[in-house]
Structure 1
């Protein structure tokens, strides 16, 4: 589908990748952009702010009732707590699952009928290359993103008959507040948002947003020991 004159809802739209989605949707001529954030305080000319915590089912239902004209849903909101799955606080692990998996799941369930009524449309899930590997300090995040990847595939299959395109966006590090303390190569939020929007307009189902995502995806046929040897070698620069 084309984004010119489309009605789009973006979660986590107040900063980083979400803010870039909003800016580029305006450039591509979207007729209406619902910019969702937990405080609903987004002040961007020509954009309709929505107060939406995607872990709150009541707020999700209210958003669906208020935005019944949506044609494209961009599930971008996410968190990272840096929690280990073995020694970490279970409450933090649940927070990541609630935000990174159950949030997009509940949004999809609420908006799938709306997309159907409006011609099919598209869903974009911002996932991560960490859906395909993990690190000791990112166990909870990786588990939640692996679940989000499976959600994306399941959604694509289940909504095929109603003509809804489902795009999974995978990437390594993006230059946002979430990665501010990490000294490593990063891609810009603008380039990732552009790749996600290009996928909608070209009918592409999956975006590998950078070389790291491509490397990780390419190793999925290897054994775990081979795969992690390859990844750790790449991380160390050897």
Structure 2
């Protein structure tokens, strides 16, 4: 998909990877709706701040009514509770699924008709290496990202006939607030991740693997 002159909606764009994706899209000539639960915290010049909470369907519907010219949706908003599946707080586990799976599904359902109505475009879902590597200490997160991977694959086939490209970005630890507990040397620069993601998406890749760990895990799935 050509990103120059794209009209992008980026969820969770007030910080971390979402903010970097929004900035790089602007540099590539796109118009950007930068969404957040707190749009007043968006400080990136050139974007259009927009309220959107992926756990609140009514806010998603309102955002879709505002961004009626959208041709690209980037599902980036996320949460990491650290909940284990058997011993963690059930509300945390539900929040992970509501955010990463049902939130992504809701934004896709709301914006796919908008994108199709504008002649087609694309959807990029920010996933994780933990969609494939399921560690007990990240049980809730892994389960939610695995569900989002299945969603991505199914919607890719479903939306192809509407001229909507659906791609997934898989990445391990990035140097963002969400991974503050990880040693810096084990994290990848979100600026590099965003470039890899947008280059891969522009090239039409269905899956974009951003780092060596992710590529190693994907290569070992058959084993």
**Could you state the TM-score of these two structures normalised by the residue count of structure 2?**
0.97
Measure, in 1, the Cα distance between the counterparts of 2:175 and 2:85. Answer: 25
Q: What is the 5 A alignment of 1:114-193? A: 114-183=114-183, 185-193=186-194
- Corresponding residue of 1:209: 210
Q: How many angstroms does 1:45 deviate by?
A: 1.9
Equivalents in 1 of 2:80, 2:218: separation in Å?
A: 21
Distance 2:198 2:101 in 1: 21
Matched with 1:230 is: none
**Paired position in structure 2 for 1:37:** 36
Shift of 1:78: 0.4
Partner of 1:220: 221
Aligned to 1:3: 3
CA RMSD of aligned residues (A): 0.9
* DSSP 3-state at the match of 1:138: helix
SS of equivalent to 1:106: helix
Give 3-state SS (helix, strand or coil) of 1:124's partner: strand
5+ residue gaps, structure 1, are 223-238
Task: Supply the distance in 2 between the matched residues of 1:104 and 1:112 (Cα, whole angstroms).
Answer: 12
Q: CA deviation at 1:221?
A: 0.7
Distance in 2 between residues matched to 1:181 and 1:195, nearest whole Å: 24
Answer yes or no: is the 8 Å Cα contact 2:119–2:163 preserved in 1: yes
Distance across 1 between alignment mates of 2:114 and 2:92:
32
Any idea what the Cα deviations from partners look like across 1:59-116, whole Å, max 9, x if unmatched? Answer: 0000000011000000000000000001111110000000111111000000010111
How many residue pairs align between the two structures? Answer: 221
Residues in 2 aligned to 1:55 and 1:192: alpha-carbon distance in whole angstroms: 25
CA drift at 1:135: 1.3
Q: SS state of the match for residue 104, structure 2?
A: helix
Please report how far the alpha carbon of residue 219 of structure 1 lies from its aligned counterpart in structure 2 after TM superposition. 1.1
Aligned mates of 1:181, 1:133 — CA distance in 2: 19
Instruction: Show structure 2 runs of 5+ residues with no match.
Output: none
Residue 64 of structure 1: aligned partner = 64
CA deviation map 1:168-217 (0-9, x unaligned): 00011111001111125111111111111112211111101000101110
| Structure with bigger gyration radius | 1
